[in-house]
């Protein structure tokens, strides 16, 4: 992974200090165990923007060239979000990620520009998986749920990006400056297909002809020198409780709470790390029927003197969950509120970069009716972490639900720009459509008056 990260830094000319957010990388030796987390036997890696540290999981391979393109592809998206808040067209986002993720590593360099193994099927065939027409690629059908359609889209995105980036090395027209100008224009809001062809100063028909010829050329690219990793790497074996807690935490971050509970049931109360496991287990199994049981359990492990930001964040989440249950049942929740806020603040003091602690705090404020405090906390976190996907989504959805579409639009636009097809992207697009409809109605009302 560090070889790929170094390649990405060198290729984009990014300073090491610009991308300094930690990444949690978990390798699995066992394919069956990996599948429990990925939910997909066909992939060997995935990347997820979690509320905490960004997460990558992969299935361990035997050699450096037999690695997971998937995990590299997703890391490129994360890298670009951290590096820039610019909005890019979907085809370029995916094409750039495909192009970089297919890097081939040598001893001291990496070649960028080769054909991604997963796209060979499209590139070298003319049937159902054939490369898309450019005008189709520029306006993808976001409602299409065909795997073949999206396989073609990713292949075509890579091919067009490759041509505009490396085509000049094969004696083709040099589009790099024009392409750069198009991306700037797109980021400013000029996103029509016509703008693309106008900036490149070529018609769709002529560009399609050039691309068809380019398919028969030898692919060119760059050899990127890999910087040696000069920092010390510390190694140590995890104890059983530590390993089970880590796996349970990964499972919850990927939305599989039952898998997390299965790992947490291996808790050994006689070994270090048992408190974290017990606290997370209490958070996951607590429901309206289990409040009394988990409350007694939590009393045994709770401590106001523990300087462990993860443990204190779990305490704050546990009391927040109980606060919500008490509020729904109409019982007093003041003590639960104060405990949740106390542990959130304690965790933030211990680790000012851990977003889940802030989230517990703004949710507790919101449940207590302190809307201003809740919003102020969200905005403070956004100011500290402007490129965090989940924070942008939370603020955008909150403002949109208050019908403050004017304020919500930039955050919702980030959610759409930074995400793949899915429920969050659909929700953001739905709010953006509502914002457009609302704005049109206001303009219509004004024109009538």
| Residue range 110-144, pLDDT digits in tens | 899 888 877 766 666 555 567 889 999 999 887 78
Which string of DSSP letters, residue by residue, matches 376-408?
HHHHHHHHH-TT-HHHHHHHHHHHHHTT-HHHH
Report whether pLDDT(258) > 90: yes
In angstroms, the CA 297 to CA 48 distance is 32
Is the pLDDT confidence value at 62 over 60?
no
> Could you give the CA distance from residue 117 to residue 17 in angstroms, rounded to a whole number?
32
Question: Percentage of residues in the chain with pLDDT exceeding 70?
Answer: 88
Give the pLDDT band (50/70/90) at residue 63. Answer: very low
Measure the CA–CA gap between 285 and 281, rounded to whole angstroms.
Answer: 6
Between CA 351 and CA 25 the distance in angstroms is: 20
**Inter-residue contact 192 to 92 (CB < 8 Å):** no
Mean pLDDT score of the chain, rounded to an integer?
A: 85
| Gap between the Cα atoms of 114 and 119, Å rounded | 11
Report for 33-47, 327-341, 378-392, 411-425: range of highest mean pLDDT: 327-341
Please calculate the CA angle 50-388-19 and round it to the nearest 5 degrees.
100
Q: What is the pLDDT of residue 434?
A: 87
**pLDDT band of 75, cuts 50, 70, 90:** confident
Task: Map 185-254 to HEC letters.
Answer: HHHCCCCCHHHHHHHHCCCHHHHHHHHHHHCCCCCCCEEEECCCCCCCCCCCCCCHHHHHHHHHHHHHHC
Cα–Cα distance for residue pair 389/86, rounded to 1 Å: 13
**Residue 69 neighbours by CB under 8 Å, 6+ apart:** 45, 101, 102, 116, 117, 118
- Report the C-alpha gap between 26 and 31 in whole angstroms: 13
- Which DSSP letter does residue 112 get? E
CB 158 within 8 A of CB 164: no
pLDDT at position 211 is: 93
Average the pLDDT over each of 231-235, 279-283, 333-337, 386-390 and give the range with the smallest value.
Answer: 231-235
Span 419-435, pLDDT tens digits: 766 678 889 988 988 88
Is residue 343 packed enough to be buried (19+ CB in 10 Å), middle (13-18) or exposed (0-12)? Answer: buried
Mean pLDDT on 374-381: 94
Which ranges of 302-354 does DSSP label H, i.e. alpha helix? Answer: 309-329, 334-350
**Whether the predicted pLDDT of 177 surpasses 80:** yes
């Amino acid at each position: 992974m560090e070889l790929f990260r170094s390649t990405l830094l060198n290729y984009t000319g990014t300073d090491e200090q610009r991308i300094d957010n930690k990444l949690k990388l978990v390798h699995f030796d066992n394919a069956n165990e990996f599948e429990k987390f990925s939910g997909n036997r066909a992939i060997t890696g995935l990347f997820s923007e979690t509320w905490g540290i960004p997460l990558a999981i992969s299935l361990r391979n035997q050699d450096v060239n037999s690695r997971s393109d998937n995990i590299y592809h997703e890391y490129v998206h994360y890298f670009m979000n951290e590096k820039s808040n610019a909005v890019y067209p979907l085809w370029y986002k995916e094409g750039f990620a495909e192009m970089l993720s297919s890097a081939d590593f040598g001893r001291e360099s990496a070649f960028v520009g080769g054909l991604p193994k997963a796209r060979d099927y499209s590139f070298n065939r003319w049937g159902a998986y054939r490369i898309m027409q450019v005008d189709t690629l520029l306006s993808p059908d976001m409602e299409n749920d065909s795997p073949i359609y999206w396989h073609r889209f990713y292949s075509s995105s890579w091919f067009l990006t490759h041509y505009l980036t490396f085509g000049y090395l094969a004696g083709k027209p040099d589009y790099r400056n024009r392409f750069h100008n198009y991306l700037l224009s797109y980021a400013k809001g000029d996103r029509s297909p016509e703008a693309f062809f106008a900036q490149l100063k070529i018609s769709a028909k002529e560009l399609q002809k050039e691309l068809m010829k380019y398919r028969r050329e030898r692919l060119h690219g760059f050899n990127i020198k890999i910087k040696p990793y000069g920092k010390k790497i510390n190694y140590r074996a995890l104890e059983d409780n530590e390993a089970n807690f880590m796996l349970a935490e990964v499972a919850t971050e990927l939305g599989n709470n039952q898998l997390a509970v299965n790992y947490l049931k291996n808790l050994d109360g006689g070994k270090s790390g048992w408190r974290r496991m017990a606290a997370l287990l209490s958070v996951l199994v607590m429901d309206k029927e289990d409040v009394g049981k988990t409350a007694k359990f939590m009393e045994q492990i709770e401590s106001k003197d523990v300087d462990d930001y993860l443990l204190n964040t779990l305490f704050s989440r546990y009391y927040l969950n109980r606060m919500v249950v008490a509020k729904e049942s109409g019982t007093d929740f003041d003590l639960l509120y104060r405990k949740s806020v106390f542990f959130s603040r304690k965790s933030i003091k211990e680790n000012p970069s851990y977003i889940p602690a802030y989230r517990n705090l703004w949710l507790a404020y919101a449940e207590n009716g302190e809307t201003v405090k809740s919003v102020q906390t969200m905005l403070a976190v956004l100011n500290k972490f402007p490129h965090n996907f989940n924070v942008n989504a939370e603020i955008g959805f909150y403002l949109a639900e208050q019908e403050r579409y004017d304020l919500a639009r930039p955050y919702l636009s980030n959610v759409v720009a930074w995400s793949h097809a899915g429920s969050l992207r659909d929700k953001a697009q739905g709010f953006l459509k509502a914002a457009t409809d609302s704005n049109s109605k206001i303009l219509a009302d004004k024109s009538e008056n």
